[in-house]
Amino acid sequence: MATLLGGSPWTRIRVLPDFAPLLLRRSSLYNLNKFRNLSVSASSIPSSSSDFPKKAGEGEVRVRFAPSPTGNLHVGGARTALFNYLFARSKSGKFVLRIEDTDLERSTKESEDALLRDLSWLGLEWDEGPGVGGEYGPYRQSERNSLYKQYAEKLLDLGHVYRCFCSNEELEKMKEIAKLKQLPPVYTGKWATATEDEVQGELAKGIPYTYRFRVPKEGKLKINDIIRGEVSWGLDTLGDFVIMRSNGQPVYNFCVTIDDATMAISHVIRAEEHLPNTLRQALIYEALGFPMPNFAHVSLILATDRSKLSKRHGATSVGQFREMGYLPQAMVNYLALLGWGDGTENEFFSLQQLVEKFSIDRVNKSGAVFDLTKLRWMNGQHLRSLPPEELIKLLGDRWKTAGILTQAEGAFLMEAVELLKDGIDLITDADQALSNLLSYPLYATLASPEGKTVLEDKLSEVASSLLAAYDSGELKVALEEDHTGWQKWVKGFGKSLKRKGKGLFMPLRVLLTGKLHGPDMGASVILLHKAGTRSVIAPQVQFITLEERFKMLREVDWEGLNKDQPHLESAVVVSH
């Protein structure tokens, strides 16, 4: 019959038979029955632990995102933060941000600032943590050392931990022997069963020591992971592990356990690469009588080659994607879909909609492939769905900052955004889109294979008629009348040349824009006309106005072009 131990609001622990007694230095303080086969599953049992420092409200959901400030926020970390945020918000719980900066050599203030900035940019505002505070702080591990030492001493007093005076050389020799015997590299030193006199003798000599946790030599530990189902480990593969280094610094698994317990974390949602850590952490929870949180281990994000997404695959950090011109709402939307869905065909969600739809039960346990092409497409959809005034301001500020426009407002800007938005997926695409519109690569186009086809369709005759329409003022009047004037003029122009459809619009596009393809030709030409009369284009852009384009058309050597004259190469440079 299973026996219930260390009940908690979140976890049931079953102890099943099958464990050899251990020789312990303080066996009277150490409950041998606690560690046989541990099985963890979600339940609701009143807590019996008087040592639990602070308790959340009955049934309150508290989750945490705990990054290390040793680099940029990876998209995998961002997705973990997002899933924690969505779970907390969907359950009216708390989202806690904790900075795990015990790696003093690699942790930096710059990395921490970047992490906070990226999370805020994504809209993942935390309820407790740096800059916000909270009753469970401090929220940086570097500020919690006294707490770790307190619980390490408690474990020592209870007999769950012992001092280990083994040197690095001794430990390396143990590993080598285990390797030769094809055994796991577990600790097999004498200090697990040392006498009090032996320990005091080493202390008197001032020999440095670590704190090691006693691990049962037989049995298994099982947890019921919310995403992965039952997961188990053999305790004989672990060996007694260090919780405090000889320099007094706590080890990761010890810090995490103490932090999660003392911050009353109800659910630990993290990447699957942390799954092996659960074994050590569960043993520490039980030894201290702390309530065990529910665990949910999220799959890795994979590259298209199915390997773990890394820097060698290109941009992988949130900051990089922000600089590349991605929108936070698109990043959040896409990251949510990496391993989760609401069961419908819908792929577009706002952050609030994700909160309303999110369920941890729908998170997939298989790896999710990061598809940059789809992310880019999704960003374009989000960009174009912005309210018009927001999109205009966004692109206007971008163009002014990039030195293309002299002002970030006005009729020209509104028309340019309306004309070009369908070709813009990233904010940074806007620079090239507007620059392309303003450019006039006539000779380069005519030198291309497709351009040659247009050239051979009596392009010179169309150019001659177009110049006549410009010289007479007829075209200028039409452009001043905007779209109605243009449509009326182009219809009459086509009749006079007995041309229509592609036979009319392709040569006109080439002559007026210098390109074979692009956004709506009429709107483009009208905008080019306005750009040349309103001083909205920055001088350094070297924009070629319609007037200058017609001057160039007068100087074209059509016969030379038809004979494939070599001067085309130099003409391309001039046209730019």
Is-catalytic flag, 308?
A: no
Question: Which residues, 6 or more positions from 2, have their beta carbon under 8 angstroms from its beta carbon?
Answer: 14, 15, 16, 39
At residue 32 the predicted structure's pLDDT band, cuts being 50, 70 and 90, is very low
**Residue type present at position 410:** G
Position 310 scores a pLDDT of 73
Lowest-pLDDT range of 127-131, 311-315, 471-475: 311-315
Q: What is the pLDDT of residues 418-435, one digit of tens each?
A: 999 999 999 999 999 999
Dihedral, 126, 128, 132, 133 alpha carbons, nearest 10: -170
For the chain, the first-to-last Cα distance in angstroms comes to: 85
Q: What is the pLDDT of residues 241-280, one digit of tens each?
A: 999 999 999 999 999 999 999 999 999 999 999 999 999 9
Instruction: Outline where DSSP puts E strands in 56-112.
Output: 62-65, 94-97
Q: Please choose, from the candidates 352, 405, 413, 406, the residue with its C-alpha nearest in 3D space to the C-alpha of residue 388.
A: 413
| 236 vs 46, residue with greater confidence | 236
Dihedral, 107, 111, 113, 117 alpha carbons, nearest 10: -140
Position 57 scores a pLDDT of 66
**Residue type present at position 61:** V
Q: What distance in Å separates the CA atoms of residue 150 and residue 147, rounded to the nearest whole number?
A: 5
Position 114 scores a pLDDT of 95
Lowest-pLDDT range of 51-65, 313-327, 407-421: 51-65
Alpha helices in 123-230 (DSSP H): 145-158, 168-180, 196-205
Strands 11-16 and 37-42, bridge-based pairing? antiparallel
**DSSP state at residue 115:** H
* Averaged pLDDT for residues 230-235: 92
- Find how far residue 34's CA is from the centre of its chain: 41
Q: Among all chains, which residue has been given the structure tokens 């659910």?
A: 267
Dihedral, 247, 252, 257, 258 alpha carbons, nearest 10: 30
Neighbours of 200 (CB within 10 A): 11
Q: What distance in Å separates the CA atoms of residue 90 and residue 124, rounded to the nearest whole number?
A: 13
Residue 515 has pLDDT above 90, yes or no: yes
What residues pair up with 229 in beta bridges, in sequence order? 225
At residue 13 the predicted structure's pLDDT band, cuts being 50, 70 and 90, is very low
Average pLDDT, the chain: 87
Question: Which residues, 6 or more positions from 464, have their beta carbon under 8 angstroms from its beta carbon?
Answer: none
Which of 54, 190, 308, 311 is catalytic? The answer is: 311
Q: What distance in Å separates the CA atoms of residue 355 and residue 360, rounded to the nearest whole number?
A: 11
Position 283 scores a pLDDT of 96
From residue 251, alpha-carbon distances to 256, 257, 299 in Å are 9, 10, 25
Q: Among all chains, which residue has been given the structure tokens 């069961």?
A: 343
Residue 157 has pLDDT above 80, yes or no: yes
Please report which helix (H) or strand (E) contains residue 394, including its range: helix 388-401
Please report which helix (H) or strand (E) contains residue 43, including its range: none
- Find how far residue 46's CA is from the centre of its chain: 38
Neighbours of 369 (CB within 10 A): 13
Q: What is the pLDDT of residues 444-496, one digit of tens each?
A: 999 999 999 999 999 999 999 999 999 999 999 999 999 999 999 999 999 99
Position 574 scores a pLDDT of 36
Percent of the chain whose pLDDT exceeds 90: 75
* Averaged pLDDT for residues 178-188: 76
